[in-house]
Amino acid sequence: MTFVLPTDLDSRPVTVLGAGTLGRRIALMFATRGGEVRIYDPSAEAGKQACAYVEQHVSDIAARVEGGAPGSVAATSDLAEALTGAWLVVEAVPERLELKRQVFADLDRLAEPDAILASNSSSYPTSRFIDHVSRPERVVNMHFYMPPAQAAVDLMSSGHTDRAVLDLLLEVLPGYGVFPFEAHRESTGFIFNRIWAAIKREALSVVAEGVSTPEDVDRMWAINTGTAGGPFRAMDQVGLDVVLDIENHYAAENPALPTGPRELLKRYVDAGQLGVKTGRGFYAYGARD
């Protein structure tokens, strides 16, 4: 079935579902062209914090985008209100398959008929959770990393996505200061994340086996690559609960993967040490980023 693309993009909002670490950063990028961004989250406090984050950074980030201008952001805990008029909806909820199935069923029912429905899933292809979507041709993977610093975006078809949806996103996303790359066939982990997963898992294994510490691995990474941070700092930024969800997904597809990395992550998650968002993970932090 052919999908009728949305029009009047500049005068219509973008809606982000989820006010967490990535949701607020995705909202920030879509607020760089003077338009309206809405954030949906069941928690009013999370929505308030996400809006404060966008408002704090949007002027600076918009100044780096060609033709950029600070836009507006608002949060709501009413999904129908969040979706009204939106040309693009980006799902950034926790990496749980059944949750995503329910979310996309709701989006298919409540979003505008011409709205593109995108998932920021870190590892699940959209083909896994469109069971109850009546118009799968408008559903697409649109996976962000950690914008604005890491501004690449994976685009991947669900297997039913209208080609015009991908072409439109490839054309317009750079205008928001992000850089899309298309995965030309279905791939768990898409492009960069598939490569990163192997690095991350081996780093966790080295620590789980007692060979080294998170601090030393990150320090060696910085020295040898000439970049700041390292795998453990990066995992703390994402959230160790999210990292564990992703690793569990990979393990479900490939039971031969080592258990040590997941066991190490689970100890931190069970202790409530999820990284930056809780103030402690592999490292201790001050105020939430």
Dist. CA 113–CA 138, nearest whole Å: 9
Domain-embedded: residue 2? no
pLDDT at 136: 96
Q: Of the residues 125, 148, 183, which one is the last residue of a structural domain? A: 183
* Ordered alpha helix ranges (H), the chain: 21-30, 44-64, 79-83, 97-110, 163-172, 192-208, 214-225, 231-238, 240-253, 260-270
List the CATH number of the domain containing 68: 3.40.50.720
Residue 3 falls inside a structural domain: no
* 199 inside domain: yes
The domain spanning residue 259 has which CATH number?
1.10.1040.10
pLDDT tens digits, the chain, 289 residues: what are they?
578 999 999 999 999 999 999 999 999 999 999 999 999 999 999 999 999 999 999 999 999 999 999 999 999 999 999 999 999 999 999 888 899 999 999 999 999 999 999 999 988 899 999 999 999 999 999 999 999 999 999 999 999 999 999 999 999 999 999 999 999 999 988 999 889 999 999 999 999 999 999 999 999 999 999 988 899 999 999 899 989 988 998 999 899 999 999 999 999 999 999 999 999 999 999 754 4
Alpha carbon distance 257, 26 (integer Å):
31
Residue 128: what pLDDT? 93
Residue 253 and residue 214 share a domain? yes
Q: Same structural domain for residues 49 and 74?
A: yes
What's the pTM? 0.82
Comparing CA positions, the residue from 156, 88, 96 lying closest to residue 127 is 156
Please say which residue of 183, 217, 250 terminates a domain. Answer: 183
Residues 140 and 217 in one domain: no
Residues 72 and 142 in one domain: yes
pLDDT attached to residue 26: 98
Domain count, the chain: 2
Structural domain range at position 62: 9-183
110 and 153 inside one domain: yes
113 in the same domain as 41: yes
Domain membership flag for residue 110? yes
Residue 82 belongs to some domain of the structure = yes
C-beta separation of 38 from 77 below 8 A: no
Extract the tokens encoding 129.
């959770």
33 and 176 fall within a common domain: yes
- What pLDDT shows up at residue 289? 45
pLDDT at 234: 93
Q: Are residues 157 and 227 in the same domain?
A: no
- The pLDDT score that the predictor gives to residue 287 is 54
Judge if 61 and 172 occupy the same domain.
Answer: yes
Q: Is 289 within a domain?
A: no
DSSP structure class, residue 188: T
* Residue 122 confidence (pLDDT): 84
Q: Are residues 272 and 166 located together in one domain of the fold?
A: no
SS (H, E, C) 225-287: HCCCCCHHHHHHHHCHHHHHHHHHHHHHHCCCCCCHHHHHHHHHHHCCCCEHHHCECCCECCC
Question: Looking at 120, 148, 183, which one is the last position of a domain?
Answer: 183
